[in-house]
């Protein structure tokens, strides 16, 4: 900053997004007009978890009122290609069933009709002759070689298997005083955005080009997947996003197969096609987070110091390996030691296929599954070795002076002071009082427990981490993949106004407000002087494969790119100003809407006049100094590809979280009441405290859902049991207490503004923190999510009833 020490960043200014959203004037995909003649799609979905499709009789549906076309798998395969699959295996992944259904909810046919009602009427007229096949629901069954392969090209249901070794884990285990292990079954769940998928697809036969408006959220690496599936070059798939998108939390990545499917449908019908996913479709068949079976063992010294970890992870990606899977398993690969200084690690990773909905991005993306195992393990170490759980965490934290710290598995922890954050949280959060509260409750016969979690929150994913699933040899053949290109454009208009665009595809977070703060700071303007455009168009805007809104990359990467673009504009404007004000360019300052000479504020020119100069009198300004529009592509050099030893810096930034909580379990009902929840975050420099609090609170609420309420449940025959919001329970305002949020700020040295991501951390830390508290309360060694009252009451009632009977 130059001049007066006013920084818009760091202030919780009012969000420009809120006015329209709070008054019902948001422009979501289903609010936007469509071209006359647009058809409405409805999808017939499989009622079977696994079946051969013998025949599809759509004759009656095709004759039904208002129906323009009925499209089945064979027509889709005729003019498109399989979606690229992320592992080296001869398997295909189509956006519609081809000859076989592999999960309940898989698309089988698409009806295009004059309106959605007529389309749904026609769905009922389609007759599909299914031949049921054996079903694999449980991920252990997928390991059974006697079970038939869901994808014949694979030969089994294990899609990928890799083992890794870092340091000398065998020796560490051999020498360890203790071995402590946990086995975790992490369930399926999802963050269920309030707005479901939606798109309008159009095909231009003259140019062989697709134009799709969809509430897709990125990553735009999937644009390449879609274009290849549609068999067009990238420049013939124009993908646009609407101005508003009603939440995503990763889930709207999963609209991409439908973009391909409806693109094909529009091409076949010769008319634009609109499809809005309904909630039933969304719950059954959008994307789920992965369920995972993890066995994690630690080599522990007598004092609780962990010397080595042995991970055995079995990941269930459902019926297809849909891009970018198996990324959920590898997103955390650099962070398998969490917040701890552990040098020896072994990993066995297996990815299996089952007859369940394919998985995809979901807030936390691999973190909830991983931390649930790691932090349950830390609690078990304390219990088994009779140590204070705080001490076990404290003793193992990465030391404060060790940053930047390279983890055993390859991540570079950029900055932090974990010990200080922990001690600050214990003091400010009232940990000592909480322990007294627990003692008092227990003295009254109440069931009360305390849980703790420490976690490193990765953000700004390395686009290359997924290639860790390949062997070094396979990677050499495929060529390097890495980086995290972020883009931002700052433009000046002929009245001197400043516009900003960034390919961040917001879904309600408030990106437009923060970008205005960042650019206003750089140019000495007010945020209200800056106009930020939220919608995005691959045909017009700057973008790259990492564009989009995921891995908490906005503040760190996109905000940073906007800052750099604004700085570039400023440098050029300073040169123009220098010529007008007769001072050197380096002596020009931008404050209060003016450019002026340092030390002589009267020698000034209004910003708007300066900014307009390159439009009105380009002759006055040297060509290289013309300030019109600057686009920055920024990628951090730290995000390198995996090494030959499979070390991977899977993310650029690493925030730190330390949570603790007190919970009470009701003796009659088994319900969990959260008495107190404290969450300490170090997410680097905070750009907008209100939004950071919003991210933390929102993540906490979703994590509480995962911990206590939510599960995508399947029957043994593969039937989907969580098909409505009466079955899949989201916590509402009456279920979510307000956590105490604390902060420590250690800026990231690797991002332009020092910011790190903060959006996903509580989805990683909170489920296990609550589980640790419940385990403490009930004295349980194993506790799986969701912790429903019925499950917990079984532990309480059994002991009480046995007492009563004697």
Which residues of this chain interact with another protein, rule CB under 8 A? Answer: 116-117, 120-121, 278-280, 668-671, 709, 713, 721-722, 724, 726-727, 729, 731-732, 734-735, 788-790, 793-794, 797, 801
Are residues 728 and 786 in contact, defined by beta-carbon separation less than 8 angstroms?
A: no
User: Which has the closest alpha carbon to 524: 620, 610, 623, 626?
Assistant: 610
H-helix or E-strand containing 491? strand 486-492
Sheet strands side by side (includes 672-682): 447-461, 651-665, 672-682, 740-743
Contact indicator for 791, 775 with CB cutoff of 8 Å: no
Q: State the minimum distance, in angstroms, from the CB of residue 445 to another protein.
A: 15
Please give the Cα distance from 369 to 312 (Å, whole number). 12
**CB 545, CB 463: distance < 8 Å:** yes
In the complex, minimum distance from the CB of residue 532 to another protein, in angstroms, rounded to a whole number: 34
Nearer residue to another protein within complex by CB, 68 or 306? 68
Q: Which is nearer to another protein, 402 or 715 (CB)?
A: 715
Comparing CA positions, the residue from 161, 167, 165, 126 lying closest to residue 143 is 161
Cβ distance to another protein smaller for residue 121 or 589: 121
Nearest to 717 by CA among 133, 127, 129, 99: 133
Shortest distance in whole angstroms from residue 468 CB to another protein? 37
Shortest separation between residue 438's beta carbon and another protein, angstroms: 24
Q: In this complex, which beta carbon is closest to another protein, that of residue 68 or of residue 87?
A: 68
User: Could you tell me the smallest distance in angstroms from the CB atom of residue 188 to another protein?
Assistant: 13
Name the one residue in this structure whose structure tokens are 């309480």: 796
Task: Tell me the closest approach of the beta carbon of residue 262 to another protein, in angstroms.
Answer: 18
CA distance 377 to 637: 34
- Give kind and range of the element (H or E) at residue 706: helix 689-708
Under 8 Å between Cβ of 500 and 489: yes
Token pair for 449: 């427990």
- State the minimum distance, in angstroms, from the CB of residue 793 to another protein: 6
Given the complex with another protein, which of 374 and 787 has the nearer CB atom?
787
Q: From the CB of 711, what's the least distance to another protein, in Å?
A: 8
Q: Which is nearer to another protein, 518 or 707 (CB)?
A: 707
List, as one string, the DSSP characters of 534-588.
Answer: --EETTTS---TT-SS-TT-IIIIIHHHHHHHHHHHHHHHHHHHHHHHTS-GGGE
Nearer to another protein, 98 or 671 (CB): 671
Q: Closest separation between CB of residue 124 and another protein, Å?
A: 8
Rg of the chain over all Cα atoms, to the nearest angstrom: 27
CA nearest to 17, candidates 28, 29, 4: 28
Residue whose structure tokens are 């869901």: 150
At 211, which helix (H) or strand (E)? strand 209-214
- Give the nearer residue to another protein in terms of CB position, either 31 or 727: 727
Q: Are 298 and 308 in contact (CB under 8 A)?
A: yes
Question: How deeply is 161 buried, as exposed, middle or buried, from its count of CB atoms within 10 A (0-12, 13-18, 19+)?
Answer: middle
Structure tokens at 346: 């072994």
Nearest to 720 by CA among 54, 119, 131, 135: 135
**Per-residue b or e along 476-504, where b marks 16 or more CB atoms closer than 10 Å to that residue's CB:** eeeeebbbbbbbbbbbbeeebbbebbbbb
Comparing CB distances to another protein, the nearer of 115 and 436 is: 115
As measured in angstroms, the least distance from the Cβ of 139 to another protein is 20
Nearer to another protein, 191 or 578 (CB): 191
Contacts of 5 (CB under 8 A, 6+ apart): none
CA atoms of 257 and 12, how far apart (whole Å):
38
Least spacing, CB of residue 240 vs another protein, in Å:
26
**CB of 277: closest distance to another protein in angstroms?**
10
Closest CA to 667 of 447, 450, 449: 447
CB of 60 to another protein, least distance (A): 16
- Counting beta carbons within 10 angstroms of the beta carbon of residue 367, is it exposed (0 to 12), middle (13 to 18) or buried (19 or more)? buried
User: Three-state DSSP class for 800?
Assistant: helix
Shortest Å, Cβ 279 to another protein: 7
CB of 281: closest distance to another protein in angstroms?
8
Cα of first residue to Cα of last residue in the chain, in angstroms, is 75
């Amino acid at each position: 900053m130059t001049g007066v020490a006013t920084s818009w960043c760091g202030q919780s200014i009012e969000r420009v997004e809120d006015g329209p959203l709070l008054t019902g004037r948001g422009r979501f995909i289903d609010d936007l007009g469509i071209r006359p003649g647009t058809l409405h799609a409805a999808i017939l979905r499989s009622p079977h978890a696994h079946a051969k499709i013998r025949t599809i009789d759509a004759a009656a549906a095709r004759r039904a009122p208002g129906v323009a076309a009925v499209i089945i798998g064979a027509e889709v395969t005729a003019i498109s290609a399989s979606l690229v699959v992320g592992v080296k295996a001869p398997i295909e992944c189509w956006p519609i069933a081809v000859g076989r259904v592999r999960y309940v909810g898989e698309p089988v046919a698409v009806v295009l009709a004059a309106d959605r009602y007529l389309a749904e009427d026609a769905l009922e007229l389609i007759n599909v002759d299914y031949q049921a096949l054996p079903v694999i629901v449980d991920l252990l069954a997928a390991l059974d070689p006697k079970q038939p392969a869901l994808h014949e090209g694979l030969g089994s249901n294990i899609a990928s298997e890799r083992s890794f070794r870092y340091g000398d884990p065998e020796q560490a285990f051999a020498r360890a005083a203790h071995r402590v292990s946990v086995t975790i079954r992490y369930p399926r769940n999802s963050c269920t955005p309030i707005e479901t998928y939606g798109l309008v697809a159009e095909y231009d036969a003259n140019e062989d080009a697709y134009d799709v408006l969809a509430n897709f959220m990125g990553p735009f690496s999937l644009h390449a997947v879609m274009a290849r599936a549609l068999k067009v070059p990238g420049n013939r798939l124009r993908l646009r996003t609407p101005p508003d998108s009603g939440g995503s939390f990763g889930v709207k990545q999963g609209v991409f197969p439908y973009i391909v499917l409806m693109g094909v449908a529009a091409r076949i019908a010769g008319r634009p096609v609109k499809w809005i996913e309904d909630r039933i479709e969304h719950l059954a068949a959008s994307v789920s987070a992965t369920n995972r079976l993890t066995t994690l063992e630690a080599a522990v010294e007598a004092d609780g110091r962990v010397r080595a970890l042995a991970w055995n992870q079995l990941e269930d990606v459902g019926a297809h390996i849909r891009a970018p899977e198996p990324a959920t398993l590898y997103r955390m690969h650099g962070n398998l030691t969490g917040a701890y200084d552990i040098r020896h690690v072994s990993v066995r990773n297996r990815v299996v296929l089952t007859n369940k909905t394919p998985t995809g991005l979901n807030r936390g993306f691999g973190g909830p599954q991983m931390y649930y195992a790691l932090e349950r393990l830390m609690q078990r170490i304390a219990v088994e070795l009779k140590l204070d759980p705080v001490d076990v965490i404290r003793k193992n934290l990465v030391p404060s002076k060790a940053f930047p710290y390279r983890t055993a598995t390859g991540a570079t922890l950029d900055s932090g002071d974990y010990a200080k954050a922990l001690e600050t949280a214990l003091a400010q959060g009232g940990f000592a009082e909480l322990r007294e509260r627990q003692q008092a409750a227990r003295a009254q016969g109440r069931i009360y427990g305390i849980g703790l979690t420490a976690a490193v929150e990765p953000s700004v994913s390395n686009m290359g981490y997924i290639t860790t699933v390949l062997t070094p040899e396979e990677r050499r053949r495929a060529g390097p993949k890495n980086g995290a290109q972020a883009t931002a454009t700052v433009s000046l208009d002929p009245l001197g106004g400043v516009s900003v665009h960034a390919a961040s595809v917001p879904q309600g977070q408030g990106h437009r407000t923060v970008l205005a703060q960042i650019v206003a700071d750089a140019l000495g303007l007010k945020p209200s002087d800056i106009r930020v455009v939220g919608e995005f168009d691959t045909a017009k805007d700057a973008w790259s494969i990492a564009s989009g809104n995921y891995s908490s990359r906005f503040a760190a990467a996109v905000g940073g790119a906007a800052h750099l673009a604004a700085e570039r504009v400023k440098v050029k404007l300073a040169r123009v100003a220098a010529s007008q004000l007769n001072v050197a360019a380096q002596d020009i300052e931008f404050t209060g809407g003016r450019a002026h000479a340092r030390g002589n504020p009267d020698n000034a020119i209004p910003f708007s006049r300066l900014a307009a100069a390159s439009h009105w009198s380009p002759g006055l300004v040297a060509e290289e100094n013309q300030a019109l529009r600057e686009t920055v592509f920024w990628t951090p050099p730290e995000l390198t590809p995996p090494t030959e030893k499979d070390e991977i810096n899977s993310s650029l930034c690493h925030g730190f979280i330390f949570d603790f909580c007190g919970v009470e379990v009701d003796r009659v009902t088994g319900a969990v009441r959260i008495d107190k929840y404290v969450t300490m975050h170090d997410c680097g420099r905070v750009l907008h405290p209100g939004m950071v609090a919003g991210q933390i609170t929102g993540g906490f609420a979703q994590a509480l859902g995962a911990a206590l309420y939510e599960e995508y449940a399947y029957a043994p025959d593969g039937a989907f049991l969580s098909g409505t919001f009466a079955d899949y329970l989201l916590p509402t305002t009456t279920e979510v207490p307000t956590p105490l949020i604390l902060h420590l700020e250690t800026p990231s040295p690797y991002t332009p503004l020092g910011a790190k991501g903060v959006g996903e951390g509580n989805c990683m830390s909170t489920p296990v923190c609550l589980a640790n508290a419940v385990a403490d309360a009930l004295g349980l060694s194993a506790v799986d999510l969701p912790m429903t009252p019925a499950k917990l009451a079984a532990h309480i009632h059994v002991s009480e009833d046995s007492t009563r009977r004697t």
